Chain A
Amino acid sequence: MAALCKWRHRLKPAGFFQNAVRRQLSDKYDYDLLVIGGGSGGLACSKEAAQFGKKVAVLDYVESSPKGTKWGLGGTCVNVGCIPKKLMHQAALLGGAVKDAHKYGWRIPSPITHDWLTMAPAVQDYIRSLNWGHRVQLQDKKVKYLNLKGSLMDGHTVKAVSKTGKESVLTAGNIVIATGGRPKYPTHIPGSLEYGISSDDIFWLKESPGKTLVVGASYVALECAGFLTGIGLDASVMVRSIPLRGFDQQIACLVTDYMGSYGTKFHWKCSPSKVEKLETGRLLVSWTDLDSGKEDQDTFDTVLWAVGRAPETRALNLEKVGVKMNRETGKVCVSADEATSVPHIYAIGDIADGRPELTPTAIQAGKLLARRLFGKSSELMDYDCVPTTVFTPLEYGSVGLSEEEAVRRHGEDGIEVFHAFYKPLEFTVAERDASQCYIKMVCLREGARRILGFHFTGPNAGEVTQGFALAIKCGATYTQLMATVGIHPTSAEEIIKLHITKRSGLDPTVTGC
């Protein structure tokens, strides 16, 4: 009877009918695994599945941004996220290093200037080489790559549409949704769509963005405003409420304080009301100060919206197929094994509800899923204690709980917070202000004092934090930390030397050697 239901809605066009007949007769699918989305998660999952000799296909399709930006295989991280972000952050850091170099004896003519037209093409070329690298890898591992836009038809069937509108139907034993997310536009603000850009566009601009207003206070907003300031542009950030929501707020303020002292302008508790284009081509942004109610305006060359990311579910046809989504977030509900509400359909990466929006977790989840599906493994992805780093001008690395979350779970009396303000050695001769270089270790108060959360602001925060992620994963305690010898002279050794508690009220500033 169920078979009849399926046949009925596939009676036209003929091609669909033939596929249905074929499936009923042979009970075989076109693919063992069909992955929709060729980003961090999708590529990792498909390549791992192919290792088991399975027939795998990846559908990757990039809908251009409202401004018209498009890119190749690899997803957000490669094309409009982590990679170009870190490279441009590096460009900005180098500008700072050149300024410091004078104090270290280098004779460099000043002032130095930055050329967007040298940096951007170099970054874009590298991204294109990664697109190609991924393409070669897929081909080499015998994963079929299709530059088609996929949507679900039923639990085992996907409709695929090419950029010219040609349709085809593919069937698979298992389907993985890994379509990720895209930047949100505040469409209720007049002019936002027509005149503003997003992180999808900033890295691909053919010309310098010039004087830029970044609206938002997420890490996307702060990282972008950070490197724009660092390469010498006039950059402002407009924040509606708090910076880096979800992160330790004490640290978030240190990050924005540093940015402010290094030239990024902040408009706190303000919200844009409209964006208009002037005859000169520049943009006039009007906004409201949410506390005073006062209106203000300024002109910019570029307005960058960084007000959140929306999951790419619209075109997938999920409701019709019965894939449950979280009504609030719009993301796909998944269980611990990445399964959705429909058998044989899974979701990984940014599209999955409750998961970190990070490349390494998407990759690892994808690999483990492939191993469970085809490799007889039962290992689930462990989303606990995932380390991250925000690549703002003052970098912030963390793993584990924020202080607020630790207090929520264990009470203020249940935790001990060790902290220190330190000065990186490199800052001394360079006469750099280190007021926001800070380390905080949140531990359980009883017993050996297990480390619950680690927070570090300073240069190379990502490199510093990685090792501590392993320690925390192993259940490291403050006692073990005290028994560890530091490497001298480094900033990281100050972590090992933490001894002042917040509870003591003593001054946490580290003095000399």
Chain B
Amino acid sequence: MARQYEEVTVRGYDEFMKAVSQRKGKDVFAYFSGSKNEQGASWCPDCVKAEPIVRGELSYLPPGSVFIYCQVGERPYWKDPNNEFKKTLKLSGVPTLLRYGTPQKLVEEECFKKDLVRMMFTED
């Protein structure tokens, strides 16, 4: 089945910014999650809970848009208030789902609400 959007997976701030800069002019949605270990489990329980909900709404993404799945790093890195995600991207928590370049974002428990996720993907 042809997907209407492009999915990109990145790890860490530099990879994220590189992926964004390579897609200038596109509608970029990003989901930030605590990194997963070799078993595929994340240290962030809310991220684990939100991911299937967010993925369940991906079919509502506008055609031609980009969905970046970004693993931010390990727990100690995330807890440091000076990490680049917090400092430069102004993220306050994980999971965060945002529309790059706009103030549209859903943080933590907001990501559990599939109607909010769908709203972000479908409204201007």
Contacts and interface: CB of A to CB of B under 8 A. Distances in A.
Interface of A: 125, 128-129, 131-132, 135-136, 139-140
A135 B119 contact: yes
A135 B123 contact: yes
A128 B103 CA distance: 6
Given A135-B123, A136-B110, A125 B103 contact: yes
Nearest to A127: B103
Nearest to B103: A129
Contacts of A128: 102-103
B113 A132 contact: no
Nearest to A72: B124
B116 A136 contact: yes
Interface string B6-34: 00000000000000000000000000000
Contacts, number: 20
Contacts of A135: 119, 123
Nearest to B99: A132
A136 B105 CA distance: 9
Nearest to B123: A135
Interface pairs A-B: 9 shortest CB-CB: A129-B103, A128-B103, A132-B103, A132-B104, A139-B119, A139-B116, A139-B115, A136-B116, A125-B103
Interface centre among B102, B103, B110 (most CB of A within 10 A): B103
B68 interface: no
Secondary structure of the A contact surface, majority rule: helix
Contacts of A125: 103
Contacts of A132: 102-105
6 contacts: A128-B102, A129-B103, A131-B103, A132-B102, A139-B115, A140-B113
Interface in B29-50: none
A72 to B, nearest CB: 9
A190 to B, nearest CB: 38
A140 B110 CA distance: 9
B72 interface: no
B106 interface: yes
Contacts of A139: 115-116, 119
Interface in B91-124: 102-106, 110, 113, 115-116, 119, 123
A135 B122 CA distance: 13
A136 B103 contact: no
Contacts of B115: 139
B109 to A, nearest CB: 10
A270 to B, nearest CB: 42
B34 to A, nearest CB: 23
Contacts of B113: 140
Given A128-B103, A136-B119, 4 more contacts: A128-B102, A132-B102, A132-B104, A136-B110
A139 B115 CA distance: 8
A146 to B, nearest CB: 11
Nearest to B105: A132
A136 B102 contact: no
Interface in B56-97: none
Contacts of A129: 103
A135 B115 CA distance: 12
B37 to A, nearest CB: 32
A136 to B, nearest CB: 6
Contacts of B110: 136
Contacts of B119: 135-136, 139
A421 to B, nearest CB: 45
B7 to A, nearest CB: 24
B54 to A, nearest CB: 15
B53 to A, nearest CB: 15
A132 B115 CA distance: 14
